[in-house]
Amino acid sequence: MGAIEAPDLSYAALAPLLFVFGAACTGVLVEAFVPRAVRHPVQVAIALVGTIGALVATLLLAGTEEITAAGALAVDGPALFLQGTIAVLGALSVLLFSERALDPARSAFVAAAAVPAGSVRDRELATSERVQTEIYPLATFAIGGMMLFTAANDLLIMFVALEVLSLPLYLLCGLARRRRLLSQEAAVKYFLLGAFASAFFLYGLALVYGATGSVRLSDVRVAVVTEGGSALMVLGLGLLVVGLMFKASVAPFHSWTPDVYQGAPTAVTAFMAAATKVAAFGAVLRLLYVAFGTADWTWRPLIYALAIVSMVVGAVLGLTQTDVKRMLAYSSIAHAGFLLTGVIGLGPDGTGYGLAATMFYLLAYGLTTLGAFGLLTLVRDGDGEATHLSQWAGLAQRSPLVAALMSFFLLALAGIPLTSGFTGKFAVFRAAIEVGAWPLVVTALVASAIAAFFYLRVIVLMYFSDPAPDGPTVGVPGLPTTIVLAVTAAATLVLGVLPGSVLDLAEAAAVFVG
């Protein structure tokens, strides 16, 4: 048995990942060695340094095309673009997590997660200003996992990254300070179903390995070309896709989304809705384009159908929702369908506009949805956040600014011109049309028309209804949430009015290696 040789690592190309994982490990050490009183600011600072450092690193690395770690990781345009996107969304989410001004108990996160909900000790801690500061290393690990996910050039690494990003999220979902049972229920549901979906992914991985003899994406590609698609390989592809679509909350694998989005602390929901989607689609794009790009006849009809189902389910069921968080969850399902429309827009041999369009859409959607969920944390009643639609009636009279910002985000989600949502939709639809996917774009336009209706309903409710007498109050956010809202609103506007340079960047980055 020969000695195992250490793989050759290009540390420069891995700098973004090293930053984030470094910050996460440091965060764990901080929990052990730093006194409780100063832990919170220290943890926030470390998480921010890690994510912003990663962002700067991706920008400095722009243009790199390199395969490293013995072929397991690909550092290329799409990986860097999406890693940068995740780093931005991650940094903004950390800011949302660190908000201390809104909740009377000074944090939306629980003081001690391990105390049973509803116990005497739990009630004592409900008003304590303590925070479970492990949320920051957990979030940073999740961000690291997501960034790894987009760069994984190997199905095994992809699976490891999937778990690295998922496990912290399961925990974070259960850490709400208020409505703890709802939050814990969400965490358990997400965990059980996530494990179920991971099993599909793993089984698919095994089948693909059996069919092609390798888990390296480039080897799978070669095997597909030389041997053609066997039933085993196609079945494996199908199961891999199921696992990824679950993470991306594409219907019919979406059923967890509304419950988990509703139950999780809103800051975590914002993080999941924005960053997880970017990571999942990063992996979907890499898997389909790099490994199975030459056999697109196998997955194209499948993705086509999933896109239609997801858009229709998200748009139609969104109409019946009475809770703002659930409504945004169904909106996220519909947007997953729109994103798949962009995935379809890949031309033969990786040409075409689909990749750049999808990446742009991910950035635009991530920022907007983060802003929308961020705003939800401001509208509160005595019981925490007020998310029932009836409580939002007449909000414009209580706080014109919050109502105006929310309207702006909702219009962007609806894809009204001069917002980033329009530019993104425009790009993905155009990409799909260039490969002749007419019926898909027609469905997408109809679905976005339906979806626009439930976004507008909220706007109408905020502006045109009389406020309920015991309605919610609008909290004054501290600096972190203010920064998040300002950045996301500005980005939504700029990407809608002057998207040129970012579109250029996405187009320049749209080349896979491997």
Partner 1 sequence: MPVDGLLSVTWLVIVLPLAGAALLLLGGRRTDRWGHLLATGTVVAAFALAVACTVALTDRAGRAVSLDLFTFIDTGSLDVTAGLLLDPLSAVFVLLITGVGALIHVYSIGYMAHDPGRRRFFAYLNLFVAAMLLLVLGNSYVALYVGWEGVGLASYLLIAFWHTRPAAATAAKKAFLMNRVGDVGLALAIFIMFAQLGTTSYAGVFGAVGLLAGGTVTAIGLLLLLGACGKSGQFPLQAWLPDAMEGPTPVSALIHAATMVTAGVYLIARSAPLYDATPTARTVVLAVGAVTLLIGAIAGCAHDDIKKVLAYSTVSQIGYMFLAVGLGPVGYAAAIAHLLAHGFFKAGLFLGAGSVMHAMDDTVDMRRFGGLARRLPITFVTFGLGYLALIGFPFLSGWWTKDAIIEVALDRGGWSGWLLGGVAVLGAGLTAFYMTRLMLMTFFGRPRWEDGVHPHEAPPSMTAPMVLLAVGSVAAGFLLVAVFPLSGWLEPVFGEPEEAAHLVSPLVVSIVVTVVVALGALTAWLYVGRREVPTTAPARVSPVVTAARRGLYADTVNESLVMRPGMWLTRALVWLDARGVDGAVNGAAAALGGGSARLGRVQTGFVRSYALGILGGAVLVAGALLAVTA
Q: Which of residues 409-448 bind partner 1 (CB under 8 A)?
A: 416-418, 423, 427, 429-430, 433-434, 441-442, 445-446
Q: How far apart are CA 185 and CA 53, in angstroms?
A: 35
262 binds partner 1 (CB under 8 A): yes
Binding mask 387-406 for partner 1 (x = CB under 8 A): -x-x---------x---x--
63 binds partner 1 (CB under 8 A): no
Q: How far apart are CA 300 and CA 479, in angstroms?
A: 46
Q: How far is the CB of 10 from partner 1 (least distance, A)?
A: 30
Q: How far is the CB of 263 from partner 1 (least distance, A)?
A: 6
465 binds partner 1 (CB under 8 A): yes
User: From start to end of 289-382, where are the E strands?
Assistant: 379-381
Residue 18 identity? L
Q: Closer to partner 1 at the Cβ: 414 or 487? A: 414
User: Quick one: which segment of 83-91, 107-115, 127-135, 322-330 binds partner 1 (CB under 8 A)?
Assistant: 322-330
Q: Closer to partner 1 at the Cβ: 24 or 356? A: 356
- Maximum CA pair distance of the chain? 77
Identified binder of partner 1 from the candidate list 112, 192, 476, 479, rule CB under 8 A: 192
The string of DSSP codes covering 15-60 is HHHHHHHHHHHHHHHHHHHS-HHHHHHHHHHHHHHHHHHHHHHHHH
Q: How far is the CB of 182 from partner 1 (least distance, A)?
A: 6
Scanning residues 94 to 153, which ones bind partner 1 (CB under 8 A)? none
Give 380's DSSP letter: E
374 binds partner 1 (CB under 8 A): no
User: Quick one: which segment of 141-149, 163-171, 228-236, 363-371 binds partner 1 (CB under 8 A)?
Assistant: 228-236
Q: How far apart are CA 491 and CA 495, in angstroms?
A: 6
210 binds partner 1 (CB under 8 A): no
In which residue are the tokens 């490293």 written? 68
Identified binder of partner 1 from the candidate list 326, 338, 481, 509, rule CB under 8 A: 326
Q: How far apart are CA 136 and CA 34, in angstroms?
A: 14
Q: How far apart are CA 236 and CA 333, in angstroms?
A: 24
Q: How far is the CB of 418 from partner 1 (least distance, A)?
A: 6
The string of DSSP codes covering 74-96 is EESHHHHHHHHHHHHHHHHHHHH
> Are β-strands 66-68 and 379-381 bridged in parallel, bridged antiparallel, or unpaired?
unpaired
* Residue 383 CB partners (closer than 8 Å, separation 6+): 178, 179
Residue 22 CB neighbours (<10 A): 18
511 binds partner 1 (CB under 8 A): no
Q: How far is the CB of 41 from partner 1 (least distance, A)?
A: 32
Q: Closer to partner 1 at the Cβ: 375 or 389? A: 389
Q: How far is the CB of 332 from partner 1 (least distance, A)?
A: 15
Binding mask 25-54 for partner 1 (x = CB under 8 A): ------------------------------
Identified binder of partner 1 from the candidate list 28, 160, 188, 206, rule CB under 8 A: 188
Lookup: tokens for 347: 């031309």
Q: How far apart are CA 178 and CA 381, in angstroms?
A: 12
The answer to whether 415 touches 422, Cβ cutoff 8 Å, is yes
User: Quick one: which segment of 75-83, 109-117, 163-171, 317-325 binds partner 1 (CB under 8 A)?
Assistant: 317-325
Identified binder of partner 1 from the candidate list 86, 146, 237, 287, rule CB under 8 A: 237
Identified binder of partner 1 from the candidate list 323, 350, 398, 474, rule CB under 8 A: 323
Identified binder of partner 1 from the candidate list 18, 280, 311, 313, rule CB under 8 A: 313
Q: How far is the CB of 29 from partner 1 (least distance, A)?
A: 36
Identified binder of partner 1 from the candidate list 17, 74, 217, 239, rule CB under 8 A: 239
Residue 117 identity? A
Q: How far is the CB of 411 from partner 1 (least distance, A)?
A: 8
Beta-bridged to residue 233, according to DSSP, are none
Identified binder of partner 1 from the candidate list 25, 56, 193, 483, rule CB under 8 A: 193
Binding mask 482-501 for partner 1 (x = CB under 8 A): ---------------xxxx-
302 binds partner 1 (CB under 8 A): yes
The answer to whether 240 touches 298, Cβ cutoff 8 Å, is no
Q: How far apart are CA 248 and CA 366, in angstroms?
A: 12
Scanning residues 155 to 184, which ones bind partner 1 (CB under 8 A)? 179, 181-182
* Residue 302 CB partners (closer than 8 Å, separation 6+): 238, 241
Distances (CA, A) of 18 to 14, 24, 41, 390: 6, 10, 22, 46
246 binds partner 1 (CB under 8 A): yes
Identified binder of partner 1 from the candidate list 89, 242, 362, 372, rule CB under 8 A: 242
Q: How far apart are CA 428 and CA 409, in angstroms?
A: 19
* Residue 512 CB partners (closer than 8 Å, separation 6+): 74, 76, 77, 78, 286, 289, 290, 350, 355
196 binds partner 1 (CB under 8 A): yes
Identified binder of partner 1 from the candidate list 256, 261, 409, 455, rule CB under 8 A: 256
Helices 135-151 and 155-173: crossing angle in degrees, nearest 10, is 150
In which residue are the tokens 């999780």 written? 264
474 binds partner 1 (CB under 8 A): no
253 binds partner 1 (CB under 8 A): yes
Size of the site for partner 1 (CB under 8 A): 82
Q: Closer to partner 1 at the Cβ: 18 or 461? A: 461
